[in-house]
Amino acid sequence: TKFGMRHQPSGRSLVRRGPIGPVPWGCALPCEYILSQQVINESQPSASVHFVGMQDLTRPPANAFGASRRAQAPRGGGTARALTRGTAADNGHAVPPAWKGKVLRVRGPRQSRTSSGFFVYVMWVLNAIDYALTHGLEYCIFVDGTNNPYWSEVRHPHPGANWWEDYFELEERRSCFGIAEKHVLEFSEGHYPAKSYRYGIQVEAAGWAVYLRPEALKTFPNGDCVPECGTYAWYVQMRARGALLVQEHLRVSIGIERIANRFWQQHNLSSSTRVLGAHLRGTDKVWGVKIGPRHYFAYFDRWLRAYRNDGRIYIATDDARWLELIESWRTLSGHPPHVVQWREVERSAKNAFLDAAAGDPYKKGEDVLVDMLLLSRCNFLLKSTTNVAEMAIYFSRGGALSNRSFDFEVADHPTAESLGFP
């Protein structure tokens, strides 16, 4: 499918664009807001929906860290079947008459500058795209620098630039420039008040309502969740939806893809090698628990023994101390240096990605995107519950890593062996 073309609403002409001018900072008449209550009313809550907050994810789940798991991998074709099911929701809601012919202008979250990692912005946009598709709306993307920790004032000395285009290709028809405000819809915005939007949201924040509703695409259990939230079956469904949305609506910028390609080629990670990807989130881990390198070492040894001369390991981590532990393991195990690879990026003993004083804001976003792309190319992925690793699954070819990955934090996860790990 050609990038971004499959879900164009049939029979709908694109909004006529006027002279190119700056995109307004916010939505003012005749632009129309989508309000929180509209989103809440559509989500059709049931008594089984529950709110998942940070306090619910601070302890390891039962059977975590490689303990016995009885569940087995789904039979072949599970991802393909789920991807097919993911299209059934399209055009699932009636469009209010006042919305017809309008374009949803997608922005990013506006909150505390150090509140969100890079892929929160990506998931925000994906959920907004999903909302547009299920309402038969066209959409455009314009993410500005408001409280954005990845906004580079060196790259953008003047306001009015689209931060999204720093990292992603944007089709001309998805640009918000030149669309008259009378044709524009936007989610009402505000700071998320750290509680379920359904149970007493205090400010207008329809964007957060879309992001946290039970039907939202989620990379881990957060916001309002259905009972199966966080189970392996739930992750398979989320990954199918995410892979489909990424395949048809996102493309990383050509320049960033070239960086990933160059690293892959320079380190001889060709089709003849078998590459194990490992994502270890340390200093900037907020949700769930930290899974340290020692939980990975046995898997590393098994992979390199199984594939001998062709085995490689690609490491993606934010934590400099964990890289030291991995290098010590490699040396003590007698593995040659070239079989364990990682990129030289900004790392520290604290959260480098959300520390505004640490490094170039743009480069931090570039680094995490390149790491994600490299993980997405691996033959198997070891991970904890993180946005980066889940996004690597979404970006893997056809979502293949959904059934070729192992998450230490998912209690009912099939064994790595049942998913093809040697």
Rounded to two decimals, the pTM is 0.84
pLDDT by residue for the chain (422 residues), tens only, comes to: 344 433 444 334 455 556 566 888 888 889 999 988 888 888 765 545 555 543 443 333 333 333 333 333 333 333 333 333 333 334 467 778 889 899 999 998 876 655 678 999 999 999 999 999 999 999 999 998 877 889 998 999 887 899 999 999 999 999 999 999 999 999 987 544 434 444 444 567 888 889 888 899 999 988 788 888 999 999 999 999 999 999 999 999 999 999 999 999 999 888 789 999 999 987 655 556 789 999 999 999 999 999 999 999 999 998 889 999 999 999 999 999 999 999 987 655 555 555 555 678 999 999 999 999 999 999 999 999 999 999 999 999 999 999 999 999 999 999 999 999 99
Domain residue extents for the chain:
32-249, 254-419
Contacts of 13 (CB under 8 A, 6+ apart): none
What's the rounded Cα separation, in Å, for the pair 175 and 206? 22
**Partners of 186 in the β-ladder:** 33
Can you give 295-360 as a three-state secondary structure string? HCHHHHHHHHHHHHHHEEEEEEECEHHHHHHHHHHHHHHCCCHHHEECCCCCCECCCCCCCCCCCC
CATH number for the 254-419 domain, one of 3.40.50.970, 3.40.50.11350, 3.40.50.10420, 1.20.140.10?
A: 3.40.50.11350
